[in-house]
Each structure stands twice: as structure tokens, then as C-alpha cells.
Amino acid sequence: MASERARTMREGRRKAQFAKFRLVQLNLVPLVDTFVAIVFFSLTAATVGELAPILNGVELPETKVGLPAHQELTLGVSSRPQSIVFNGRSIMSASAAASAVSNIPEQPLVVPQLYAVMKASADSIRQATGIGQNESINRPLAIQGDRSMRYDLLQRLLQTARMAGFQKINLQVRRATEQGSAPTVTM
């Protein structure tokens, strides 16, 4: 009887001692479901996104590399009709931009009329984000150039955008696929 009682006490102490090591059952199904949903939505949002619209009259060149173009400020050079368009607003004709004389002596490639519009836009972005007047802005600018655009005009547009304060300048093209053209991409 005493040994029976001692054995029961020993078993009680042993159960109490190892109770902290008992496995807790955890239902992992909701955790896995949540993880799958997060992965699905992040991949969907990353691949779909809000694509940049192609300006009227711009026929983009094609490429097989690059990332999808997201909504951003756009500077377009259209061939039908020939014009320079900034954020959907026609600024000047492409021939006038190509022959414009710079009003900044040390920057002969700057297009003055386009520079004024882009500088005003960059200044409003600077004011909204609270950065200094002479600092470059971090907002991307996409250039949509018609495939027939001359490279000297592209060079002038790039220099004008840089002088206005745009740091991130992307060239947009149409992605070439086996079946033909696909959505716009940024180079």
C-alpha cells in the first residue's frame, strides 16, 4: 500500500514535470490559406498594375525586354499630327521643337517653350512634396516617341527634361510578342 501510494505520487510528479513539454495542437489551414491569398494578390497586383496610356498619334517602337509601364507623367512625340504632348496637353509642333533656339547659353539643346511647361510641372511637384527648388524630383517621366522620331529631337527632349528637374526618365516602347504587339513597357 505504501509502495502503491509512492508510485502514484511519483507518477503525479512526473506528469506535472513533463506537462510543460506537451504538444499544443495548432490548426495551420487558416494560416496557409491566408499566405496563399497574400501571394496571389501580390503577384496579381505586380503583373497587372495601372498601365500607362499611349498618347494619340504615337506609334511606339517594339522590344522584347523591359518592365510594364505604370501610370506616370508622359511626354509624347506624335507623328499624326506632328506635336509634342505633355500629360495629354499639346505644347508645340515637333518641327518647332526641333528648330527652337535655346534661351540658356550654356545649354544649347533646351527647348524653351517645353522647358517652361515642364519646369512649372516640376515646381508644383517640388512644392507638393516639400523638396527644394533646385533639387531633382523623384517622380518618373515617360517619353513616348513615335518610331519615326528623329534622334536629335529625342536628345533635345531628354536635355530639356533633365534641366527642368526630372531625374528618372523612361523611354516607352511596345513589347513585341510572338503574336504581335502587347502592352507598353518601360526601358
Question: Which tens digit of pLDDT belongs to each residue from 138-186?
Answer: 888 888 888 788 888 888 898 999 989 998 888 887 766 655 555 555 5
**pLDDT of 1:** 61
DSSP type of residue 137: B
Neighbouring CB atoms inside 10 A of 157's CB total: 26
CB 132 within 8 A of CB 65: no
pLDDT at position 64 over 70: no
DSSP type of residue 71: S
Residues 6+ apart with CB under 8 A from 109: 102, 155, 156, 159, 160
Nearest to 172 by CA among 74, 46, 48: 74
Q: pTM for this structure?
A: 0.59
Interhelix angle 151-164/112-129, nearest 10 degrees: 40
Q: Categorise residue 57: left if φ over 0, alpha if ψ from -120 to 50, beta otherwise.
A: left
Distance from the first to the final alpha carbon of the chain: 88
Cα 172 to Cα 13, 113, 160, distances in angstroms:
75, 23, 18
CB 140 within 8 A of CB 170: yes
For the chain, give the mean pLDDT: 79
